[in-house]
């Protein structure tokens, strides 16, 4: 994965900030409303035990 860092201000900066805010809002909405029940494929491999270690 690669990425470029660009510094922008003015109208372009405002557009970028609005796009980022919308993307973050959509992600947080998805996280809040997704089905947290593991699927058959996932099983319990990612669940932590009471001691905090993976099962």
Integer Cα distance of 41 and 17 in angstroms: 37
Q: What is the pLDDT of residue 4?
A: 92
Integer Cα distance of 22 and 24 in angstroms: 6
**Alpha helices (H) along 1-42:** 10-33
Residues 2-50: pLDDT tens digits?
989 989 999 999 999 999 999 999 999 999 999 876 666 655 555 665 6
């Amino acid at each position: 994965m690669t990425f470029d860092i660009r510094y922008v201000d003015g109208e372009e900066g405002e557009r970028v900030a609005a796009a980022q805010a919308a993307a973050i809002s959509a992600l947080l909405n998805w996280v809040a409303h997704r089905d947290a029940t593991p699927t058959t494929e996932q099983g319990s491999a990612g669940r932590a035990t009471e001691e905090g270690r993976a099962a």
